Amino acid sequence: MSMNRPNGSKHTIGVLVENQPGVLSRVAGLFSGRGFNIESLTVAETNEPGLSRITLVTTGDQHILEQIIKQLNKLINVIKVFDFRDTEFVEREMALIKVRAEQHTRAEVLRIVDIFRAKVVDVSPHFYTIEVTGDDGKIQAILELLGQIGIVEVARTGKAALARAKKH
Amino acid sequence: MKLTGAQIFFECLKKEGVEVIFGFPGGAVLDIYHEMPNHPIRHILVRHEQGAAHMADGYARATGKVGVCLVTSGPGATNTVTGIATAYMDSVPMVVFTGQVPTPLIGNDAFQEVDIVGITRPCTKHNYLVKDVNDLARVIREAFYLARTGRPGPVLVDLPKDVIQSSTEFRYPKTVNLRGYRPTVEPHQGQIHRAWELLKTAKRPVLYAGGGVIISSAHKELLRLAERLKAPVTTTLMGLGGFPAVIKKETGERVLHPLWLGMLGMHGTFRANMAVQNCDVLFAIGARFDDRVTGKISGFAPKAKIIHIDVDPTSISKNVLVDIPIVGDCKKALQRLNELVEKEPIENLDELRFPWLDQIRQWRETYPLAYKQEGDGIKPQYVVEKIFELASEDAIITTEVGQNQMWTAQYFHFTKPRTLLTSGGLGTMGYGLPAAIGAQVAFPDRLVIDVAGDGSIQMNIQEMMTAVCHDLPVKIAILNNRFLGMVRQWQELFYNKNYCATCLDASPDFVKLADAYGAVGLRATKPEEVEPVLREAFSTRRPVMMDFWVNPEEGVYPMVPAGKEISEMLLV
């Protein structure tokens, strides 16, 4: 009956919150105070005025995840928690990557950008800044390829996720 | 008509039925204090804001109503934090109003500014910073609603000075609409049926009740269920008083209730811990499987299927996996269960239950709670026994934390809910005296006794003055062992008798101290002096501080060493 807390796999959780001062701190404080992990966290307003959606990625076994979801639900400013464990969902992340682009590597960078359906959003004599959107695997893949050329800086948004609409 | 924030504050309190505020003034709340004499509310001026918080807590635990305190910004606010955390851990309904610097100064490190909303975020059920006087009435309405509903808890409302000074139309919202707060009170009927199916077939059931039984006033339903199932009952520290530990015979003699196991856990009785470890169904009612209850968690109740009722879903399957979870109010859940039991009584119950109850009787007879009276010193357990013997049945007992608390839990036989006020979760030394004062404010005619240690009483002893000033005749029984006794006991057992920093040979003369405060001081140094001192104290209409010189080396037993299974008890 015991419950240890080994590092489990990654899980994505959506949290619909009231857009009140301090709400992000309540969510973040819950994780730090109870020893849960946050791998990434995004937050922005939704289409409904006064509501924001937080998407966070955490690690833990089923038991820890269960506690996280219950604890999130217990926060007064939390309207709804989306547990994606048994649901089909889409998740996307955006990354801005500043990569070294000298005379001899520019073409290769642009080829990679093309393959990944990414975009060059800033150009300077020695650097390109690239915008890429995708799931975890895609972001990892482009980072790996561009890494061989020379990445200077990366800014990632963290994941945003929504459940897939029912097909029937 | 427009009202100022300060006026709105009092109108809201009136709507909430608040009769008393425990508080301490300061710059940021002066407008509220300026307005106070215009309203028929009682204010108890404390000597330290921690005292105000514990008093509001004691008032709330004794009455079931929401306790209220009012303090100024900065240090006034931070001084309440221990009191808030204490109330949070034990689910006590409380609203704490703190002053704040004017909104244009917030964030500027102004004089007596502190981010109290940030500081108390993890130890309140919820908290608010009111930035606009138009939000004030709604926020206060929500604060009281949150404090007393669902799993109760403290709510803090931070009031900037300019908000309190500005004016608006006063309208008290009729209803509260919090989209993210809908506690489940009504238990799921299907789960109730599943619980009943399991209980019905149990051969060795144990009911394990916690503070939830007290909070939801489910004590009658618990007794009824226990009697109908002939199931023995143990409670946590927080659950004491939720089941009648003793019953009165026709002769007036008080004997242990045959189904009463005593408290379980680290300092639980032998029979309670053995019963839990050997039961086949453990029914947890408003309890949260605290580590002081479970001991080594993997070895807790190893033979049992577990049913758990709790109004807070996060308490269920947090520490121990549960077979039948029931989210809801304890009282409602027990009522539903009792309906089922009455519809379909268990056949041959006496026969079915005999082996189990007989086993428990044997455990009780083999290792009853006991101490040895030896030499001519006073045993602390004897003092508690005498308090139990001489106190009226409706007496309210508060405790500090440590040995005094555990001996009270073991040797005072609680029979009524809300008669033991003790800091169970946080374990706050210095809780007992202010809590007793809060309880005495609520019930001026009842006997209120703080069972204290010589260490913990000194943590909020300044509140003696509050008791004397407001004519609150609390009785303080100091079990004076010249040690920080519980820590000393751990050092003796687990730290090679290295009594570092636990000896309190320098303490004030408590009798003279009582006198200095204008209270009555009494002392007993021999066993035969205990009863006369208690009798005198209980018949005095003034605050009394009793200094009982007890055996310094007495320990609390049984004791389950940390990390051991609860059947592995050190007995005397």
For position A70, which CATH number holds?
3.30.70.260
Stretch B116-127: mean pLDDT: 98
Q: What is the ipTM of this complex?
A: 0.91
**Contact at CB, B317 and A78, closer than 8 angstroms:** no
Give the pLDDT mean for B40-45.
98
CA atoms within 13 A on the CB side of B330: 30
Smallest CA–CA distance, residue A69 to chain B, in Å, is: 9
The answer to whether B314 contacts A26, with C-beta atoms less than 8 Å apart, is no
Provide the 8-state DSSP code for B559.
B
List pLDDT tens digits, range B452-488: 999 999 999 999 999 999 999 999 999 999 999 999 9
Same domain, A109 and A78: no
Search chain A and give the residue with CA nearest B312: A74
Q: Given this model, what pLDDT does residue B419 score?
A: 98
Q: Which residues of A touch B321 (CB under 8 A)?
A: 1, 3, 63
Looking at domain B189-366, its CATH class is: alpha beta
Pair B160, B106: CB distance under 8 Å: yes
pLDDT for position B480: 98
CATH number, domain B380-549, options 1.10.357.10, 3.40.50.970, 3.40.50.300, 3.75.10.20: 3.40.50.970
A-interface mutation test, from B314, B315, B565, B566, most A Cβ less than 10 A away: B314
Contact A1 B313 (CB under 8 A): no
Question: Which pLDDT score, from 0 to 100, does residue B505 have?
Answer: 87
Q: Is A3 within the bounds of a domain?
A: no
Q: For residue A5, is it within any domain?
A: no
Domain check: are A73 and A23 in the same one? yes
> If you average pLDDT over every residue of chain B, what do you get?
97
Does a structural domain hold residue A158? Answer: yes
Q: Which amino acid is at A119?
A: K
Domain ranges, ordered by start, for chain B = 2-169, 189-366, 380-549
Quote the DSSP letter at residue B328.
S
What percent of chain B lies above the pLDDT cut of 90? Answer: 98
pLDDT value of residue A64: 93
pTM for this prediction: 0.96
- How far, in Å, are B412, B431, B495, B541 from residue B546 at the CA level? 18, 17, 32, 14
Instruction: Please tell me if residue B177 touches chain A, with a CB cutoff of 8 Å.
Output: no
Nearest-CA residue of chain A relative to B311?
A74
CB B203 within 8 A of CB B230: no
> What CATH number does the domain located at B2-169 have?
3.40.50.970
Q: Which of chain A's residues have a Cβ under 8 Å away from the Cβ of B139?
A: none
Reply yes or no on whether the pLDDT at B265 is more than 80. yes
Residues of A contacting chain B (CB within 8 angstroms)? 1-3, 17-18, 21-22, 25-26, 29, 33, 63, 66-67, 70-71, 73-80
Nearest CA in chain A to B184: A74
Give the C-alpha distances (Å, rounded to integers) separating B171 from B7, B213, B333: 12, 36, 37
B-interface mutation test, from A1, A27, A73, A79, most B Cβ less than 10 A away:
A1
Of A33, A62, A83, the position where a domain reaches its end is A83
Same domain, A69 and A103: no
| A156, two tokens | 């990632």
Residues 6+ apart with CB under 8 A from B178: A76, B142, B145, B146
Give the H or E element holding residue A41: strand A40-45
Put simply, whether B108 touches A (Cβ < 8 Å) is no
Contacts B129 to A, Cβ<8 Å:
21-22
One-letter identity of residue B483: F
Task: Look at residue A7 in the predicted model and tell me its pLDDT.
Answer: 58
Please check whether residue B179 touches A, CB under 8 A.
Answer: yes
Does residue A74 form part of some domain?
A: yes
Taking the C-alpha atoms of residue B215 and residue B151, their distance in angstroms, rounded to an integer, is 9
Chain A interface includes B563 (CB < 8 A): no
The least confident of A1-15, B335-349, B542-556 is: A1-15
Q: Which residues contact B406 (CB under 8 A, 6 or more apart)?
A: B267, B486, B556
d(CA B270, CA B276): 10
Domain-embedded: residue A130: yes
Its sign, for the CA torsion B198, B203, B204, B210, is positive
Per-residue confidence band for B375, with pLDDT thresholds at 50, 70 and 90: confident
Q: Which among B404, B391, B394 is positioned nearest to B431, based on CA atoms? A: B404
CB contact (8 A) between residue A75 and residue B298: no
Do the domain assignments include residue A2? no
**pLDDT tens, B131-164?**
999 999 999 999 999 999 999 999 999 999 999 9
On the question of a common fold for B189-366 and B380-549, the answer reads yes
Q: Which structural domain range is residue A69 located in?
A: 10-83
Same domain, A104 and A140: yes
B 114-153 → A contacts, CB under 8 A: 117-118, 121-122, 125-126, 129, 146
Q: Which of A49, A83, A117 is the last residue of a domain?
A: A83
CB contact under 8 A, A22 and B117: yes
Residue partners of A148: CB distance under 8 A and separation at least 6: none
| Residue B222 in this model has a pLDDT that exceeds 80 | yes
Q: Is B300 on the interface with A (CB under 8 A)?
A: yes
Q: Which of A68, A74, A77, A78 to substitute to test the interface with B, most B CBs within 10 Å? A: A74
Residue A4 lies in a domain: no
We report the CATH number of the domain holding residue A125 as: 3.30.70.1150
The three-state (H, E, C) secondary structure of B418-444, written as one string: CCEECCCCCCCCCCHHHHHHHHHHHCC
pLDDT per residue as tens digits for the range B235-263: 999 999 999 999 999 998 999 999 999 99
Rounded alpha-carbon distances, angstroms, from residue B400 to B55, B408, B428, B429, B454:
13, 10, 7, 5, 10
**Omega into B558 within 30° of 0, i.e. cis?**
yes
Q: Which of A51, A83, A115 is the last residue of a domain?
A: A83
What is the average pLDDT across B556-564?
Answer: 96
- Domains contained in chain A, number: 2
List the catalytic residues of B: 49, 111-112, 161, 486
- Residue A3's pLDDT is 43
Rg, C-alpha atoms of chain B:
24
Question: Does residue A58 share a domain with residue A15?
Answer: yes
Write out chain A residues lying below 8 Å of B118, CB-based: 22, 25
Cα B534 to Cα B522: distance, rounded to the nearest angstrom? 9
Answer yes or no: do A25 and A78 share one domain.
yes
**One pLDDT digit (tens) per residue for chain A, 168 residues:** 334 444 578 999 999 999 998 999 999 999 999 999 999 999 999 999 999 999 999 999 999 999 999 999 999 999 999 999 888 999 999 999 999 999 999 999 999 999 999 999 999 999 999 999 999 999 999 999 999 999 999 999 999 999 998 876
- For residues B378-390, give the mean pLDDT: 98
Q: Is residue A146 part of a domain?
A: yes
Alpha-carbon gap, residue A110 to A119, rounded angstroms: 9
Residue B473 to residue B470: CA distance in whole angstroms: 9
Contact call for B118 and A33, based on CB within 8 A: no
Same domain, yes or no, for A111 and A48?
Answer: no
Q: Is the pLDDT score of B85 beyond 60?
A: yes
